[in-house]
Structure formats: C-alpha cells, structure tokens
Structure 1
Amino acid sequence: MERTSPQGVNIKSQDKKDDFIAPTPHNTPIVTAPIHNRQHTSTTMAGSFTPNAQLVSDLQGKLGSLIGAPTGYIESLPASVQRRLDGLKCYQSEHAKLETEFHKEIFALEKKYLGLYKPLYEKRSQVVNGSLEPTDAEVEAGKKVDADSDDEAEEEPAAKTDDADSPVTGVPEFWLTCMKNHGQIDELISDRDQEALKHLTDITLEYLEDEHAFRLVFTFAPNEFFTNTKLTKTYFYQTNPSIGDIVFDHAEGDSINWNEGKDLTMAVESRKQRNKSTNETRVVKKNIPTESFFGFFDTIAIPEAPEEEDELDLLQDQIEADYEIGEEFKEKIIPHAVDWFTGKALEYEGLNYDDFEEDGEDFYGEESDDDDDDEPRSQQRAPECKQQ
C-alpha cells in the first residue's frame, strides 16, 4: 500500500475562486457541479485543507500567480499601526490554539457516537444479509416513521407475497442500490462493476485509535472477481495550529487481488497486426486502464514536484473528488443507508441531477474517447429508487 509523502495537500487550483472552502464531513453536497461553486462553514474535523508548500509553489510558478505576494499596503502603515497588528496576530494565534482543541473534541465526539451507532449498524447488517428478522414492534415503528415524516404521501401498493418455493433472503443488492441512488457515486459504477458490487454485504466506518483518521470498510461475500473479503479506504488528517483546525492530509486504499481475467479496472483492447513479409495477420490483445468504481481504492500518488500544468490540474481534481466521495460514504451512505435504498434520501437532498452537466472528464483519470459499454452513466438522472 503506497503512502503519499506530502502532507496537507492543497486542493485549490488557480482557476478556483479565492473564497473556496473545502467540503466538510457534515455538509458535503452530492452534486457533481464544480466544487468552487460551493461554500461551507466548518465545525468538524475536516473543516479545511492546509496548503502543501511545494504544490502551491509549483502552481504559483506555472500559472504566474500572485497569491501571497505583498501589495505594499501593510508595509506602508505607520510603525505604531504595524505594532498593533503584531498584537492582533498574537490574539489570533491564541484563538487558533483554542480552535484546535475545539476540533479535537469534535473528533472525539464523533468517535464516541460511532460506538453508540454500532449496535444499530450491526442489526442492520444482520437484517440485510438474512441472519436476523426485525421484530413486529420494530416493523410497526418503522411504518410509523414513514407516516410521521410524510402525511401527504400516497398510499403504497400492497407488498408482494413471498414465493414459498424461492424465499428471498435479507434485502438483495442492498448496498449496490444505495450507491446507485446516489448520483455522484452512481457515475463511478460501470455495468461490469455492478456484478461485483452485488456481492457487497456491508459498508462500515472505523476511527483509527492513535491517529486522526477514519477508515471505510467494504465487506464482500466470496465472488469470482477478487479474493479480498474486505477493501478499505483510509483518510488521514493532521493538526494545523496556524489555522486552528484538523485538516485533510492524504488517503490510502487497499490493493485488490484480482482473479485471472477479472480486473474490472482494465479493459482488453484487440488490434490486428499484419506481417509485411508473409502478409499474415494476427490479433494482439492489450490491457488498458478503464473507468471503474474500484478505482476508488487506488492510493493517489503525489509526485515530489509536478512539472506540467495539466498534471497539476488533474492531481487537484483527483484529490478533490476522492475526498468528496469518502465523505459521502461517511456522512450520508453509511448512517442513512435505508433512505438511500428506498430513494427517500433524494427528497431531503432536494436535488435534481439534470440541473448539472458533465465536463466529460474521467473521474479518476484523463479524458477518454472510449465508447465502451463499461463507461459509467454520467448523464443519467438518479431515479427515486434503483432497486435491482
């Protein structure tokens, strides 16, 4: 597992607005509009991103930025005013120390409540996977939740009677349906991915004991695609005293042990070659990278000093997108899974995906002209419920 070395990656590129605020755990939107059109306030551990000096330097040099350059105004102020400004900086520094403690306590509170949520998540997993049936009292309480939340809701049609000859176990394709009802995540799922994701039995959240970090754990039943029973993605944070926050540092994903010929992140390209001497032809097959949800588990390697402007822009976009998806799982999919399965979550998200357009850029890579059927369906609107 590759660990990225630079810390506090700056996700702001020079074509983004100066007032950009990084997405936070409790208010990250699920839409695919450019991130610089969104502004948020932060009260959680991931309230902002701290700059990486090397990346910022490269961006400034490549794009001719004047960010951070002195204007001469402060230097022109009288010495007495500059002295007062130094005093104000002292107060600001003390404020940052208190704010750091504030965010540490929020982080600790998140850990505490995850422990309280876990018994509910465990019951949910058991019901979804068929090892537990909810009690009659729990079922009635669930029906009451729907009645209380929407008095004007149309009466639902009667549920189908179970077929005694082929009983259904648990809730089939629960997590795949949750993910497909989330517009931003659905865009990452190719047709081939769906077959593998049907074997996804649980998605859980963990906090690391000795680090400011959280881990997403995807649990799979045995399947024909890979041998891993669990795939994880871990997001690390660091304390930044200068701004009084715990900020995003980097993410690490698991390596997937693909079975022979089952790598969903690769496609087979066939080309004919003709021998000039004999005029005989042969078919040469080559594996090429292709879009897949399982690219989410890749660790984004941050080069020491990116040289090309396009390389920097792509890196910025990848880091932004990867962080957002991680937060969507942590803050929305995992805690509200049943609402994403039924499609109810789309009601309180209040979003219409037709309002946003795609720019044609691959989520985890460069632009692609491949019209393969495995392309994620970026233009589709998320329906009320995509139960399989």
Structure 2
Amino acid sequence: MLDEYGYDVDMPSFSVPDRYLGELASPGLDAALCWGVGAAARGALDVSVTGPVVVAESADPLALPEDLGGAVVLRPITAANENLTAFVLAVQARGAGAVIWTRVDSAYPRQASAFVPSLSTASPAATIPVVGVGQVQKHALLDAVAAGPPTLTVTTTHHRNLTSYNVIGSRPGTGRPDPTRQNVMVCAHYDSVIGARGANDDGSGTVLTLELARVLRDLPTSTNLQFALWGSEEVGFVGSRTYVAGMDAGARAAMRGVFNNDMVGTSWDPAERYWGLSYDGQPNVVNAEVLAAGDRLGYRTHMSDVTQRGASDHQSFQEVGVPSGNFSWRGADTPALLEPPYHSADDTIAANISAERLAVSIEIIGCATYALARA
C-alpha cells in the first residue's frame, strides 16, 4: 500500500526466536474470537489431536476417569501454584489426548492472556500436546461444554528459523538541500500476541500510519517523511530496536521526531483520555506538537500532559536520544488502565474499535506531524 501511495519502500528483515504456538478448532466455538494459543515446548509439537472435551473440576487427576480415551482435558485452575507437570503426566497415563491449561482470572478490567505453558525439565517430556489459553477463551470453552460437550481439535506447531520484517515507506521533502534535510516519522507495530486478533493493539496504530501516509503523500514539507510499521514489538520491541541499532550518529541527529501510535482506537467507555507518553517523562518537540495540535483542534481537555511510560516502540528511539512519543487512548486515571480486550481473544474490530476515537487520533497525529515536517 505504501508503494501505491508513491513512497520508496524498504522491508529489512531480522531474526526472531522460535515460537511455540497452537490452535483450537471446533464447530461449537465462537468464530468471532481468536483461538490461537501457546504450546508447551516440552509437550507434543507439530501434531493435531481431536477428542471430546473433559473438564477437570479438581486439581487431582485421580478424580478423572481411569480411561480418558483420547479426551482433551481442560483444567480451569483456581490457584496459580497448581502443578502443571504432574497433572499432565498423570492424565497422559490415563489416556488423555491433549491438555488445555488456564490461568487464574485477572482482576477487572484486565483479563489473563493466552500463554506458553512451561513443563518442568526435571520430569520426562509429555507425549501429548499441552496448550495455554486466555481468560476469554477459557470461559468460551466452558460455555461450549455446558451447551453440550464439543469435540475439539488441538493443533501445535514449532515455528523454527523465523524471520520478521519492518516496513518503511519514505518520501523526500520539498524544501532545503538533501544534506541538511531532516526526517519526521509516523509509526506503529503490526504484530499481536498469542491468542489475540490485535484490532486495537495495534491494528489501530497500523491503520493510522497508513491513512496518514495517504493523506500527507502530496503535501509540501521541509523534512523527509517516513511511515514505519514494526515487526515483533510484542516480544521486546525487536523490530524498532533493530532499526535504531542500524542508525549511525548522523542518522539519529537527522531524526527530528518520531510519532509512535499504539492502541489508538479502543471503544471501552472508561478509556476517555488520550495519553502522551514519554519514556524519559520529559517534554520534547514531538509531544509538544501533539499537545499544540490538540489545542488547535479542540481536543486538549481529553488529553494528558506529558507522562512517563515506555513499553512501546517510542522507547527504542528515546533510549538513544531521538525525540519520540507514544500516543494512546487509556483510562483517565492512569496510563496503566487498559481496556478488558487488551491482549485478549476479543480484541476485535466489532468488540474493541471506536471509529470516532480512531478518527480523533488520526486528526491529532496528522496535524502534529505536518506541523513538525513543514517547520
């Protein structure tokens, strides 16, 4: 899409660690949810198992039938210290085909995410797949069982030798000679976590970045414009840190500012504040332009002052002295107050996107970007 808008597009690759993932499938499952799950590295991988779901109401596997006949055993745990390894080996000995492990429900508004279960290396590896589901997935599975025990297919995959990509579209400015021209960047990350569709985190930031690339493509600017989509943000800002590591001192000095957009469209009612987050907590030209744009557009009363927080790709740039900020809709009291679908199976467009908030985000960042790029 960036190339269709006339940008020069670069897609540098980088390596990422192996991933251990799974998928649940059944006609009885809610198709609106994401059914990606984490898979235990010491369980069976690259396999697919189908069987009836049996709920283990007790942490004691001896409470289950002696012959589980290939059943998929779902254990909705009630205490975080339950012994996963002992449970898996015991139900495996009773003929289980797979194990679905859960987490204790998180306190509202947070919800436990899907995860990679960890089996002890002090015990033999399991010969059946073992997967970890999120809170929303767990309750949807329990509802499906209550409606009539479903037959479930559990698939696990060990993804090896992985490569991820950054996507960077650039266009030159129309003023000042090339050697003295600076760069202004708008960016977001395009990856998601296990078990989440990623509509708000961070499909919303990706949409904002692409829309501003379209809108600003023909406007005159004194700086170069860049629109970047980072890979592998959710596993430690790998994409943006790889990009920053490849910048020499001259390239860093030429970067006038980076507008990072992470979760800019949630429809959760309490997320009524638009937060301007800075890794070092200090004002810079980026968050100053965003606040000024808010004033001009009449949105300032919904916006925070500059607030210290990392935890997104702006951190990669601020760590090396490049002016940057992260912008996001969150709860009014603290930027730590995130919507219930955060990193959850119900982070979908239908359940978790406000077109109005997304449009406001686009207006604010578009005005701020253009102001900085034409200065």
Task: Give the TM-score normalised by the residue count of structure 1.
Answer: 0.26
Q: Choose between structure 1 and 2: higher strand proportion.
A: 2
Larger Cα-atom Rg: 1
Task: Give the TM-score normalised by the residue count of structure 2.
Answer: 0.26
